[in-house]
Amino acid sequence: MNFFIADDDEAIRSMLTEIIEDYDLGEVVGEAENGSIIDNQLLTLKKVDIIIIDLLMPIKDGLQTIRDLDNSFTGKAIMLSQVEDKEMIGKAYSFGIEYYITKPINRLEVISIIEKVIEHMQLEKSIHDIQKTLNVLQFKKEKDSVKQTYNFINKDIISSGQFLLTELGMIGESGSKDLLNILKYLFECENANAFEHGFPSLKKIFIDVAMKKLGPLCDSMDLNKEIKASEQRIRRSIFQALNHLASLGLTDYSNPKFEEYAATFFDFTEVRKKMLELQSGKSSSMSSIHINTKKFVKVLYIEAKKNLGI
């Protein structure tokens, strides 16, 4: 366990460090004499599991520091103070403080409290791991069930594509039909050994699919208009998929669909950016998010073939 100690008394910090290290409770990775330097970035950088923080400190006290972390700190907090005011203690608990140690420090009490916090964290981790396993098993069960709905046995690339678009939360989008047409085109090209020079460029894909849709007699103006419209529909649909996966990840970072698809279909930086936007309640446009259409199309095709056992 990694500990961070915040107390304006150097002797107290030294004593706590000694107790933690002498009794193999963990390692003290950082100290502060007040809460002014403590934020989520610092605690994340130092990989802090438990913060022991004094209630009353100059410049910025313990309560204000914990409140400013705004539940973003995923570790545990232990409040340390001479104050025995029940209202203050109640306020500390309401901010997420797990345990409360009063001064002067009693070595046995400190060890007991820290051991309880560690035990609590280990129990939470075990429950989380069990839940994650159950989620994965349920996800696989649901995935197998949905796969049976689509006739993969007949090597139908469209059915496989529909399954994936459903998983990505974009099957109802207008661009999903364009994507299915692209899958069909790519599948036919590969079966005709037209991939000799590698995966076709996005421009060629859009041109060929548009020509197939409009017919060989279409003029260049109609062709360009269809290509542009198709690109826009597909981008909107991909943006919806990104939004869907980011929402899943925000609700539950260990969500099996989020884990399986987010980093596969998208650059994770963009997924994370979208998650932060959703968390802050900001609405974003497609222009603020980088959507790699070629990567998405290529991955969609590869995953669709994989579902067919190809």
Instruction: Assess if residue 7 is contained within a domain.
Output: yes
The answer to whether residues 164 and 53 belong to one domain is no
The reply to whether 119 and 157 lie within a common domain is no
* pTM for the predicted model, two decimal places: 0.53
- pLDDT band at 245; cut points 50, 70, 90: very high
* Beta strands 2-6 and 76-81, pairing class: unpaired
Q: What sign has the CA pseudo-torsion 220, 223, 229, 234? A: negative
Which one of 90, 124, 158 terminates a domain? Answer: 124
Give a yes or no: residue 143 inside a domain: no
Domain contains 251: yes
Query: Does 51 map to a domain?
Result: yes
- Rg of the chain over Cα atoms, rounded to whole angstroms, equals 27
CB of 42 within 8 A of CB of 68?
Answer: no
CATH number of the domain within which 99 lies: 3.40.50.2300
Residue where one domain finishes, among candidates 107, 124, 141 = 124
Specify the pairing of strand 2-6 against strand 50-54: parallel
Distance CA 274, CA 276 (A): 5
Domain identity same for 176 and 69:
no
Domains of the chain: total: 2
Q: Per mean pLDDT, which range of 39-43, 45-49, 196-200, 226-230 is the poorest?
A: 196-200
Same structural domain for residues 169 and 102? Answer: no
pLDDT at residue 210, as a whole number: 93
Is 117 in the same domain as 184? no
Domain boundary residue among 124, 141, 159?
A: 124
> 43 and 87 share a domain?
yes
pLDDT of res. 291: 85
Whether 75 and 158 share a structural domain: no
Question: Does 158 share its domain with 295?
Answer: yes
Confidence band of 227 (pLDDT split at 50, 70, 90): very high
Would residue 132 count as lying in a domain? no
In a domain, 144, yes or no: no
Alpha-carbon gap, residue 62 to 284, rounded angstroms:
35
In a domain, 11, yes or no: yes
Residue 184 CB burial class (10 angstroms; 0-12, 13-18, ≥19)? middle
Residue 80 scores a pLDDT above 90: no
155 lies in the same domain as 35? no
Strand runs labelled E in the chain: 2-6, 27-32, 50-54, 76-81, 99-102
**What is residue 24's DSSP assignment?**
T
Q: Are both 80 and 185 inside the same structural domain?
A: no
Residue 283: predicted pLDDT: 64
Q: Which domain holds residue 28?
A: 2-124
Burial grade of 179 (CB within 10 A; 0-12, 13-18, 19 or more): buried
Q: List, in sequence order, the alpha helices (H) in 215-255.
A: 220-251
Q: Which residue has the higher pLDDT, 66 or 174?
A: 174
List, for residues 138-154, the tens digit of each pLDDT value.
666 665 655 555 544 44
Torsional class of 57: left (φ above 0), alpha (ψ -120 to 50), beta (otherwise): beta
pLDDT, mean of residues 76-86: 76
Same domain, 57 and 169: no
Asked if the structure places residue 271 within a domain, the reply is yes
Residues 154 and 287 in one domain: yes
Q: Residue 246 and residue 221: Cα distance in Å, rounded?
A: 38
